[in-house]
């Protein structure tokens, strides 16, 4: 009798290779790391071949694994094509959306609630991260819809927003000027530093954080001023002759090449919501 290879085992196998680790793959296929490990063990038992060399947590493909990877991709591609064709695109899998934190409050409390009402059967997976990380996950097929920031004129742009300075006006009298920024890479960090350097305005980084919530708290506490859009704080931006002008930024929407009906509607709702901000 021929061996039957379950597609969920193949999908987990490909996810580990594409993401580079069990941890990242578990987030992509929505199973725990222990369950993922058992799936790979079962696949190896069915094939009677080791697919990975294991060196601690580091995994590299064996020669059998490299051969199997090519076939697994073909099998999954044909499988997904068949499902889409038979169900006329109405097959509902997890709707995976990634967004920068600036949009999280607006999209999570409003647009995603509306989407859930329209498609109560759909599962939503939401990822909050920087634009570069989200686009990388989109390219690795870990996300279906990404909303983030890019330079003005980006072909994926929905709308543009003005960058502005935010913070306690009393800090403007300090020399050097204390600023609060996110860790690199960050478009707003780069714009703020470049603007201050071009204007010859001395500054120091008083707060550096990977988290936008912490950045907001630091700004509200008066620890530094920052560069962001009106989505960051509802307060009025700072306007002062000592503060240099800032560029505009594009709000972009990028999607995977093939979306099911529900996820296509999700992308449309994102476009409508962000375009109206």
Number of structural domains in the chain: 3
Domain boundaries, position 208: 164-246
Instruction: Please check whether residue 75 lies inside any domain of the structure.
Output: yes
Residues 192 and 140 in one domain: no
Question: Is residue 159 one of the residues assigned to a domain?
Answer: no
Per-residue pLDDT reduced to its tens digit, 96-152: 888 888 887 767 666 777 777 777 777 788 888 888 889 988 888 888 899 999 988
Per-residue pLDDT, 193: 94
On whether residue 31 sits in a domain, the answer given is yes
User: CATH code at 258?
Assistant: 3.40.190.10
Q: Does residue 153 sit within a domain?
A: no
Note whether 38 and 59 are same-domain residues. Answer: yes
Is 129 domain-assigned?
yes
Instruction: Give the pLDDT confidence score for residue 241 in this predicted structure.
Output: 83
Mark the ranges of the chain whose per-residue pLDDT is less than 50: 91
**Same-domain check for residues 171 and 44:** no
**pLDDT > 70 in the chain, percent:** 91
* Amino acid 1: pLDDT: 60
Same domain, yes or no: 223 and 262: no
Give me the CATH number covering residue 49: 1.10.10.10
| 4: number of Cβ within 10 Å | 6
**CB neighbours of 152 closer than 8 A, spacing ≥ 6?**
160, 247, 248, 249, 250
Residue 68 covered by a domain: yes
Distances from the Cα of 49 to the Cα of 25, 41, 44, 110, angstroms: 21, 10, 5, 49
158 lies in some domain: no
């Amino acid at each position: 009798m021929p061996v039957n290879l379950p597609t969920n085992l193949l999908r987990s196998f490909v996810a580990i290779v594409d993401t580079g680790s069990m941890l990242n793959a578990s987030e992509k296929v929505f199973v725990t790391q222990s369950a993922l490990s058992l799936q790979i063990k079962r696949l190896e038992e069915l094939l009677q071949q080791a697919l990975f060399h294991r060196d601690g947590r580091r995994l590299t493909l064996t020669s059998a694994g490299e051969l199997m990877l090519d076939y697994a991709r073909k099998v999954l591609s044909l499988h997904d094509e068949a499902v889409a064709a038979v169900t006329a695109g109405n097959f509902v899998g997890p709707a995976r959306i990634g967004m920068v934190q600036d949009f999280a409050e607006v999209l999570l409390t409003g647009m995603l609630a509306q989407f859930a009402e329209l498609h109560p059967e759909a599962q939503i997976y939401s990822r909050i991260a920087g634009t570069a990380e989200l686009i990388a996950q989109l390219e690795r097929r870990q996300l279906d819809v990404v909303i983030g920031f890019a330079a003005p004129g980006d072909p994926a742009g929905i709308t543009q927003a003005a960058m502005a300075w935010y913070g306690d006006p009393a800090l403007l009298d300090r020399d050097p000027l204390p600023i609060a920024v996110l860790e690199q890479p960050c478009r707003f960090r780069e714009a703020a530093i470049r603007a201050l350097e071009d204007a010859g305005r001395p500054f120091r980084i008083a707060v550096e954080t990977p988290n936008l919530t912490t950045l907001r708290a630091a700004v509200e506490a008066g620890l530094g001023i920052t560069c962001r859009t009106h989505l960051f704080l509802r307060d009025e931006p700072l306007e002062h002759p000592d503060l240099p002008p800032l560029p505009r930024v594009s709000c972009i929407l990028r999607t995977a090449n093939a979306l099911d009906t529900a996820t296509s509607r999700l992308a449309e709702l994102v476009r409508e919501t962000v375009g109206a901000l």
